[in-house]
Structure 1
Amino acid sequence: MMTTDYIGKPTNRVDGPAKVAGTAKYAAEFNVPNLLYGYVVSSPIAKGKITKINAEEVLALPGVHKVFSHENVPSLAWFDRSYKDDVAPGGSPFRPLHSAEVKYSQQPVALVVADTFELARYAASVLEIEYEQTAHETDLSKHIDDAREPGGGKTGYKPPKSRGNFGRGWEQGVAKVEANFQHGAQHHNPMENFATTVEWLGDKSLNVYDKTQGAFNSQQYIMKVFGLSKDQARVISKYTGGGFGSGLRPQYQLFLAVLASLELERSVRVSLTRQQMFSFGHRPHTLQHVALATNADGSLSGINHFAVAETSQFEDFTENVVGWSGMIYDCKNVKLGYRLSKLDVYTPLDMRAPGAASGSIALEIAMDEMAEAAGLDPVEFRLRNYADYDQEQNLPFSSKKLRDCYHEGATKFGWANRNPAPRSMRQGNRLIGWGMAGGIWDSATQPAQAKASLDADGHLRVQSGSNDIGTGTYTIMTQIAAETLGLPIEAVTFELGDTLMPEAPVQGGSWTASSVGTAVRKACQALGEKLLKQAQKMDESAFADATIDDVQFVNGQLRLRTDPDQAVVLRDLVQASGEPRLEAENSKLPGMLGMLKPAQYSMHAHNAVFVEVQVDEELGTIHVTRVVNAVAAGRILNPKTARSQVLGSVVWGISMALMEESVMDHRFGRYMNHNYAEYHIPVNADIHDIDVIFVHEEDDKVNELGVKGIGEVGLLGVAAAISNAVYHATGKRVRDMPVMIDKLL
């Protein structure tokens, strides 16, 4: 007998064969007819203005069609300053080719369009542009005193909540630690570069193949900017080669490609180079100060967490860096602060676990220091300060299994065998260090829609305009649909990434599984009700008086729960209807109403990370030899794809701790290592044993599926645990990420 019980099973990726075979097409791989190619010219200065563009020589090259710049795009709807994309921070969004003003290094200042990519690239390289340069400011450390609170109102920014009296708690403290922390800017660097292929259909109608994490966000963007209707601006994004947040906002190649297509009435592709991938958005350079104090029994008497981060001159990008410190541990006296400093850089952008990834490094290293000062094991110290409810929001947690994460992770790792003294464990010439840390991340659900249709052959097709950035969305939605209507997984096709489909939110924030998954389930349930009504129309139907709760969908059949022998094949019901298919959609409204209700619970995923490092005593080289990451994230829809997400997060955490840094030369205001050769990320030889534990957690309050999301939480604690392990190995505390050899020697 076939099984139709799929949720929670380690199902293979349904999109895997297409990716392996190369039939999965990405934004720059749609070869539409009569295609032209655009190449972006980037500013060599960080601040100033363009004084002259000498385009005549370039335009004289055979095959060059046009050079777009601020000089010849003055009439677009783009100049309506009311425009905001769905995830824009407060301020005025950057407008490519808007004026002669240069706001940051590598700003796009022109687009050369030609018959071939090679010609466009050559023409862009010889295009002469003259600049008048003015002084720029890109060094956050020199502008701490200039930092201010982010603007309120339209920015949507809410200041972190302090409580109690930190000053009193600090004075009462028996043991105290106080330290400064920092990490430089980091860039997303997904494997797929940003690109847009615009297919010109005539009469201002376009098919836009875009690298994005939200097809509807890109559609709304070009509709507002260019005055297009939905019918004229179809956006398609079936596969995305990584995003990590870089695709949440429409990037400038989308604007430039659509602009060129509309002006030239031709299909146009614009692809960014790897160097240009460093020209929009990044995890912001952040400076932090943490002070902790404990009572004689090791309980926290005070927490002070303050952060200063960079933003652009034209937008206030904000993150929740310090708020987690008022939530994850039990403490009555908490002081939190957050400031921004405006610099001549592009606006930062959400990057996996935005805010929390930065804040958790400082807090969790400080907690390790505090545990030592209080004479307690790091795990015992955290358990002693365990928060049973959310003191920041004064709400109970919908569920919280962080305590179990500590216990199960420590057991798997063998933490009980740790000698607490620094430099006490070694293997030959290598010092052994064990460190740990924890994390917390929001569990949110956004309004989403889906449509389900069953054809006369018994094949179920489900659609939602979501995205899949490699996380496994295709697969888990197929699992949800197959189980809801009791069909074999081979009889289900899930489609996404097209604005002709029902609307879904951008893929980010770890909310896709809960949001789109709930929509898919509801759409399939609505289709199930239609199938039941069709069964009730049959002569002498056994289902005549049955409600939806009286039936079940199993093995391609509709059955009575009380009498499983009373069953009808689903495809027979479609055939009996006389229609080619039966279909149904979920309503977006209930999700929206739920978001308007006052919060009754604090909903979060948690994790605990345990790390072993080996440090060469003479060279200072660091090897992360073992990691155990215990995650409590509600119901796990697919342990196989979920494990892959956490594995990727751990690798990224190793990267953050030991390698990843965008190096700014402040003389030029430019990131100098804007390539894969010098922006260091781990290779296979850097990665050793990684164990992922999914702690059992049931939550009937967070959403209908009981799903919390794991894309972000798996990253948290990894970098801090590595730093803590390095201290345990060497006795040297490094608070400036990444931990490199020179900081140990």
Structure 2
Amino acid sequence: KLTVYDKTQGVQNVQRYLCGALELAPGSVRVLSPFTGGAFGSGLRPQYQVVLAALAALALKRSVRVGLTRQQMYGLGYRPAMIQRIDLGAKADGTLEAISHDAVTVTSQYEHFYRQETGWSGLLYRCPNTTYAHRLAPLDLPTSCDMRAPSAATGVFALECAMDELAFALGVDPLDLRLQCYSDRDQIANRPYSSKNLRECYRRGAEAFGWDKRNPEPRSMRDGSELVGWGMATGVWEALQVPIAVRIALTANGHAEVSCATSDIGTGTYTIMAQVAADMLGLPLDNISVKLGDSTLPQSPVEGGSWIAASVANGIMTTSESIRRELLNLAKQVRNSPLSDVEPDDVRLADGKIVGNKDPARAVSIADAMRQGGIDRIEREETTHFPKNEAHSHNTHSAVFAEVKVDEELGVIRVTRVVNAVAAGRILNTKTASSQILGGVVWGIGMALHEEALLDHTFGRVMNANIAEYHVPVNADVHDIEVIFVDEPDDSINRLGIKGLGEIGIVGVAAAIANAVCHATGKRIRDLPITLDKILQ
């Protein structure tokens, strides 16, 4: 039997792949990844190191560890390069009349890997005439991969920079233009949203940022020797959910173990699973333990697409309801039970008891109910499916406002302030959710100003495959970031009203920064990253 420890976003995905590729029985391979670390796309697919390690272990009949050098890790996946062209036609009042968005994206010679690149305007802005085209350019490179908000981070960058250019050409405020073109419908699928509180994101984000004090004239705002620029952009991402199974084992001493094969890539999955279980089972948080990242646990999809929080939380609720029904059956057997005539939907679990919703005085302790049934453990595993909702579209939205300061002589750019206002349904944990958006903003700063893989065009080799020359934002590059969550009740997407947060934090950030740079300098830089040589050129 083979036990594999891998950095992955899907232990069961790796397990299935190894069984297929190496012709092994499913029961003979166990994959563990209880603590993944960062991933955000690179761990969605099994990578070659896990296959090499498994092959060597099987051949040598002993434990094997395969480690990658820093240089080798640059071949494990990347955000594909993209060339985009956008044409916008509008009336003098800013009403959009036509949008054309074309893209050419890199893929490998052996695999046509792509995502939806060009249709994002249809989710945001009213326009009667639109055309979208997306082509692939096969190159002698490894296949690219999903990387935080795949296609949206790059596609929305071009769209939101174009909207900023249109606002300048029309002489209208960029925020006013977006409100003028605002769409309450998904124009691609031609249906309304289950919820879309983007207008409130615009309002609260602009208020917190002080957008009304913006002088629209480029190069008109200064701080000493630095030019000051203010820019904004809209973000949009999918609110997805997928079938998932959750097992809960509840013991008579008031402890519950929650199990699912999902992953925690630093997003706080352990935390929210414990939170939701404690809430649903009426137990203290300290009485909940969580097991995940093990292929032998109940079935889970890969951790990606911002769908795990919504999926696993609703999965925990489904299994908790099964346990509640079992507990009520036991409670009814207690002598002179105050719950003898109560239906399952009329009770809840709270403070270690089965409690009537209408009359909290009618209650039986979980311990008494289990003692009456002569059991010390209840274990249930349920699979949660999400009905396909053809009547509505499900998306998260955001409004990003950015301030940059540009040294007029040196061209050095600093992002001094960012406000990101997000509408993403019910927020399970404000602290972990804020961290997700903060991380997305930092990554957006990297996308806008720092990150660039330089290729040898003869061999397709990444020439700056090291941390010294592949630049990412460091503490000195990150200043004031404010995250605002806009209230957005949504009772149709799922029973808990949850939307995912992992991807939306980065969408629109690079565009807001690029628009701020243009406002500061008067120069429209369309090629990322925006480096000082492009400013000074």
Pair 1:629-2:420 in alignment: yes
Q: Give the C-alpha shift of residue 684 in structure 1.
A: 0.4
Q: Give the C-alpha shift of residue 281 in structure 1.
A: 1.3
* 507-516 or 223-232, which deviates more: 223-232
The 3-state SS of whatever aligns with 2:432 is: helix
Q: Give the C-alpha shift of residue 297 in structure 1.
A: 1.9
Summarize deviations over 1:363-402 as a string: whole Å, max 9, x none. Answer: 0000000011111100000000000111111011111011
Pair 1:683-2:479 in alignment: no
Q: Give the conservation status (yes or no) of the 8 Å contact 2:339–2:363.
A: no
AA at the equivalent of 1:275: Q
Pair 1:247-2:38 in alignment: no
Distance 2:359 2:399 in 1: 47
Q: Give the C-alpha shift of residue 292 in structure 1.
A: 0.6
Distance 1:518 1:561 in 2: 21
1:270-285 to structure 2, matched below 5 A, reads: 270-285=66-81
Summarize deviations over 1:15-60 as a string: whole Å, max 9, x none. Answer: xxxxxxxxxxxxxxxxxxxxxxxxxxxxxxxxxxxxxxxxxxxxxx
AA at the equivalent of 2:431: K
> Residue 572 and residue 598 in structure 1: after superposition, are their counterparts in 2 closer, same or farther (change >3 A)?
closer
Q: Give the C-alpha shift of residue 274 in structure 1.
A: 1.3
Aligned residue number for residue 692 of structure 1: 483
> Residue 280 and residue 399 in structure 1: after superposition, are their counterparts in 2 closer, same or farther (change >3 A)?
same
Pair 1:655-2:446 in alignment: yes
Aligned residue number for residue 244 of structure 2: 448
State which of 164, 167, 174 in structure 2 corresponds to 1:368: 164
Aligned residue number for residue 499 of structure 2: 708
The 3-state SS of whatever aligns with 1:468 is: coil
Aligned residue number for residue 600 of structure 1: 391
> Residue 602 and residue 562 in structure 1: after superposition, are their counterparts in 2 closer, same or farther (change >3 A)?
closer
The 3-state SS of whatever aligns with 2:331 is: helix
Q: Give the C-alpha shift of residue 578 in structure 1.
A: 2.4
Summarize deviations over 1:636-656 as a string: whole Å, max 9, x none. Answer: 000000000000000000000
Aligned residue number for residue 717 of structure 1: 508
Aligned residue number for residue 207 of structure 2: 411
Aligned residue number for residue 609 of structure 1: 400
Pair 1:423-2:219 in alignment: yes
AA at the equivalent of 1:468: D
Distance 2:188 2:135 in 1: 19
Q: Give the conservation status (yes or no) of the 8 Å contact 2:324–2:348.
A: no
AA at the equivalent of 2:130: V
> Residue 313 and residue 624 in structure 1: after superposition, are their counterparts in 2 closer, same or farther (change >3 A)?
same
Summarize deviations over 1:680-720 as a string: whole Å, max 9, x none. Answer: 00110110000000001000111121111111111111000
Distance 2:136 2:532 in 1: 31
Q: Give the C-alpha shift of residue 555 in structure 1.
A: 1.2
Larger radius of gyration: 1
1:274-353 to structure 2, matched below 5 A, reads: 274-353=70-149
Summarize deviations over 1:385-433 as a string: whole Å, max 9, x none. Answer: 0001111110111110111111110000000000000000001100000
* 641-650 or 292-301, which deviates more: 292-301
AA at the equivalent of 1:453: A
Pair 1:479-2:275 in alignment: yes
Q: Give the conservation status (yes or no) of the 8 Å contact 2:400–2:509.
A: yes
Summarize deviations over 1:448-490 as a string: whole Å, max 9, x none. Answer: 0001111121101111110000000000111110001111101
State which of 534, 537, 550 in structure 1 corresponds to 2:346: 550
Q: Give the conservation status (yes or no) of the 8 Å contact 2:14–2:46.
A: yes
Q: Give the C-alpha shift of residue 577 in structure 1.
A: 2.7
Structure 1, gaps ≥5 residues long: 1-204
The 3-state SS of whatever aligns with 2:403 is: strand
Aligned residue number for residue 493 of structure 1: 289
Q: Give the conservation status (yes or no) of the 8 Å contact 2:452–2:471.
A: yes
CA root-mean-square deviation: 1.0
Q: Give the conservation status (yes or no) of the 8 Å contact 2:338–2:364.
A: no
AA at the equivalent of 2:498: V
Distance 2:500 2:277 in 1: 18
Q: Give the C-alpha shift of residue 573 in structure 1.
A: 2.5
The 3-state SS of whatever aligns with 2:505 is: helix
The 3-state SS of whatever aligns with 1:690 is: strand
Distance 1:598 1:478 in 2: 28
Pair 1:561-2:349 in alignment: no
> Where has structure 1 moved over 4 Å in runs of 4 or more?
none
Q: Give the C-alpha shift of residue 327 in structure 1.
A: 2.1
Distance 1:571 1:421 in 2: 70
State which of 64, 83, 90 in structure 2 corresponds to 1:268: 64
Distance 2:463 2:351 in 1: 58
Distance 1:429 1:344 in 2: 46
State which of 434, 456, 461 in structure 2 corresponds to 1:665: 456
AA at the equivalent of 2:198: L
Distance 1:271 1:340 in 2: 33
Summarize deviations over 1:327-366 as a string: whole Å, max 9, x none. Answer: 2110010110000011000001000000000101100000
Q: Give the C-alpha shift of residue 579 in structure 1.
A: 2.6
Task: State the TM-score, normalized to the length of structure 1.
Answer: 0.71
Aligned residue number for residue 145 of structure 1: none
The 3-state SS of whatever aligns with 2:293 is: coil
Q: Give the conservation status (yes or no) of the 8 Å contact 1:371–1:378.
A: yes
Summarize deviations over 1:248-285 as a string: whole Å, max 9, x none. Answer: 00000111111111111111111212111111211001
Aligned residue number for residue 27 of structure 2: 231
Distance 1:350 1:621 in 2: 31
Distance 1:730 1:700 in 2: 45
AA at the equivalent of 1:255: V
Structure 2, gaps ≥5 residues long: none
Q: Give the C-alpha shift of residue 598 in structure 1.
A: 6.0
Summarize deviations over 1:152-209 as a string: whole Å, max 9, x none. Answer: xxxxxxxxxxxxxxxxxxxxxxxxxxxxxxxxxxxxxxxxxxxxxxxxxxxxx01111
Distance 1:396 1:556 in 2: 42
Task: State the TM-score, normalized to the length of structure 2.
Answer: 0.98
The 3-state SS of whatever aligns with 1:290 is: strand
Summarize deviations over 1:185-238 as a string: whole Å, max 9, x none. Answer: xxxxxxxxxxxxxxxxxxxx0111111000110010011111222220111110
The 3-state SS of whatever aligns with 1:542 is: coil
Q: Give the C-alpha shift of residue 668 in structure 1.
A: 3.0
Summarize deviations over 1:136-165 as a string: whole Å, max 9, x none. Answer: xxxxxxxxxxxxxxxxxxxxxxxxxxxxxx
Q: Give the conservation status (yes or no) of the 8 Å contact 1:454–1:574.
A: no
Distance 2:13 2:263 in 1: 11
Q: Give the conservation status (yes or no) of the 8 Å contact 1:615–1:729.
A: yes
Summarize deviations over 1:550-588 as a string: whole Å, max 9, x none. Answer: 212111111122332222221332333323311112234
Aligned residue number for residue 299 of structure 2: 503
